[in-house]
Structure 1
Amino acid sequence: MIRVPSSGPDLIRIERVSVRRGHRAVLHDVSASFPTARVTAIVGPSGVGKTTLLGVLNGLIAPASGHVVFDDVGRLDDPTSLRAARHQTATIFQDHALIGRLSAIDNVLLGLADARHPLSPLPWPAAARLRAAKALDDVGLLDLATRRTAQLSGGERQRVGVARALIRRPRLLLGDEPFASVDPALAQQLGALFRSLAVREGLTVILVLHQLQLARAIADRIIGLSDGRVAFDGAASAFDAELEARIFPSLALSQSPSQPKETICSND
């Protein structure tokens, strides 16, 4: 395993984590720490445990052994610590997870639901709606705020999902293939937004990506998984094509997603 030491305080760390599904080890003895104000990309071929690792980080998957520690909150195997960590965490899902009959802005406002009450009725207070409008503006969708998400394109829905995560003002932002429905230009712009938030707000960003070229472009750090183990952990600039070929010989470099294309500057 290739590991390059990182600097800076860590928001969350995993210590010797293993996850099993039946008799198969999905993650095996994985340790990693994730510093504040940094973007980390988790990469590797399909089936090596990338999404499972993300599930461990947000407490949705309990490891068979090892543990996860969230800053001063504590270990996530403690229910009180897990609840506290989740209040400081937001996740962007690959499948959008939006309610199609609601408008874009109302879907974004649902990101605040657990901060009030999970069954809080609409309408939301004006201050909350302004906050949601700012999040939509950050992803270039303010002009579609009142449109039902069922009427939006795949890329537009993905951007609503990003805005819904940002409205929480989390300390930890997790993304499971957050650029799957957008073209490379928009992915770069959203990646630049994440980097800006990481620096400006001290946000810890962890993204599962299948596009290695994109990971090198937007991440400060890359963690490469192979057969459920950490094969590389270091600066994105150190993860060059030669190293990629050595660690992931069967992984074809994806230059662009195959979904419909759009950009933040488009008028669609």
Structure 2
Amino acid sequence: MLVLHGVTVRRGDNWVLKGIDLRIPAGRITAVVGRSGVGKSTLVATLNGLLLPDRGSIQAPDLGDLADSAVLRNHRRRTATIFQDHALIDRLSAIDNVLLGLADQRHPLSPLPWSEALRRRAAEALDEVGLLHRATARTASLSGGERQRVGVARALVRRPRLLLGDEPFASVDPSLVRQMSADFRTLTQRHGLSVVLVLHQLETARFLADRIVGLVDGCVAFDGPATAFDAETEATIFPFVPNNED
């Protein structure tokens, strides 16, 4: 789906990603793991085109180099992102939040209501995540799990080929994460999506992903099947930090 060659990204005075070489496989779920501050969210931002590399390149084999503005526009049209806080507008209904995923398909200053075709498409996306019965509920009244599903529906309504997620289960009750991640995997397989998720729960990464990428200090320290992410690898990605307090 994407090929990264020597991708290096600087934020301020800090080099956050340092020469990343990576292939994002089509039709698979890739989990990105690592300690806070190692560059996981920055990597997602480069994959969806919000950040351009200071060095290196990102290629979409069927489109071209994302440094080309036309290629980047086409790539972003077929990419959707689920954010950690879901980026929902609380005063709007669930279906209106899902419709925001289609905002690039009409003029931003249009006074006209959403078309019937687009509202039907948003309703279908909510139905896919089991939330059609809450379509008219204000998002502020929804539970953490329901809000997460609205975020997924808003991504799916774009009919993407590449789906990115920055800790999409972070605000979900831990007791629900395994079932929701299983439902998420079923959805993405049904749509044939390529998926990259930043996850902080290793158990979820092992259960959900086909492949795990482990980052250490802005570099790839592990890239392989989820089944190969063993205790020794975990110790490399999450090294023990001694507590110096008495």
User: By the TM > 0.5 criterion, same fold?
Assistant: yes
Instruction: Report the equivalent of 1:158.
Output: 148
- Inter-CA distance 45–61: structure 2 relative to 1 (3 Å threshold): same
In 1, are the aligned partners of 2:85 and 2:171 still within 8 Å (CA)?
A: no
CA distance in 2, matches of 1:250, 1:120: 54
CA distance in 2, matches of 1:98, 1:214: 24
The one-letter code of the counterpart of 1:196 is T
CA distance in 1, matches of 2:189, 2:145: 25
Instruction: Report the equivalent of 2:23.
Output: 33
**Residue 140 of structure 1: SS of its match in structure 2?**
coil
Structure 2: stretches of 5+ with no match in the other structure: 242-246
Instruction: Report the equivalent of 1:108.
Output: 98
Instruction: Report the equivalent of 1:200.
Output: 190
Q: CA shift at 1:152, angstroms?
A: 2.0
In 2, are the aligned partners of 1:158 and 1:179 still within 8 Å (CA)?
A: yes
Q: CA shift at 1:102, angstroms?
A: 1.2
Higher alpha-carbon deviation: 174-183 or 239-248 = 239-248
Write out per-residue CA displacement over residues 200-253 of structure 1, whole angstroms, 9 at most, x where no aligned residue: 3321010001001110000000000001000000000110223212332238xx
The one-letter code of the counterpart of 1:164 is R
In 2, are the aligned partners of 1:113 and 1:119 still within 8 Å (CA)?
A: no
Which residues in structure 2 correspond to 1:99-178 (within 5 Å)?
99-121=89-111, 123-178=113-168
**2:206 maps to which of 194, 206, 216:** 216
Higher alpha-carbon deviation: 26-35 or 185-194 = 185-194
1:90 aligns with 2:80: yes
In 2, are the aligned partners of 1:100 and 1:148 still within 8 Å (CA)?
A: yes
In 1, are the aligned partners of 2:144 and 2:173 still within 8 Å (CA)?
A: no
Structure 1: stretches of 5+ with no match in the other structure: 1-10, 252-268
In 1, are the aligned partners of 2:35 and 2:237 still within 8 Å (CA)?
A: no
Write out per-residue CA displacement over residues 155-191 of structure 1, whole angstroms, 9 at most, x where no aligned residue: 3222211110011110000000100111245332332
Higher alpha-carbon deviation: 169-178 or 21-30 = 21-30
CA distance in 2, matches of 1:239, 1:101: 42
Q: CA shift at 1:24, angstroms?
A: 2.1
**2:43 maps to which of 53, 64, 69:** 53
**1:250 maps to which of 230, 240, 246:** 240
The one-letter code of the counterpart of 1:180 is A
In 1, are the aligned partners of 2:4 and 2:22 still within 8 Å (CA)?
A: yes
Q: TM-score, normalised by structure 2?
A: 0.91
CA distance in 1, matches of 2:154, 2:84: 13
**Residue 184 of structure 2: SS of its match in structure 1?**
helix
Higher alpha-carbon deviation: 184-193 or 132-141 = 184-193
Q: Give % identity.
A: 66
RMSD: 1.7
Write out per-residue CA displacement over residues 15-46 of structure 1, whole angstroms, 9 at most, x where no aligned residue: 11011123321110001111111000000000
- Inter-CA distance 130–158: structure 2 relative to 1 (3 Å threshold): same
Write out per-residue CA displacement over residues 37-81 of structure 1, whole angstroms, 9 at most, x where no aligned residue: 100000000000000000010111111100111232211111111
CA distance in 1, matches of 2:164, 2:110: 25
1:72 aligns with 2:72: no
- Inter-CA distance 119–236: structure 2 relative to 1 (3 Å threshold): farther
In 1, are the aligned partners of 2:9 and 2:54 still within 8 Å (CA)?
A: yes
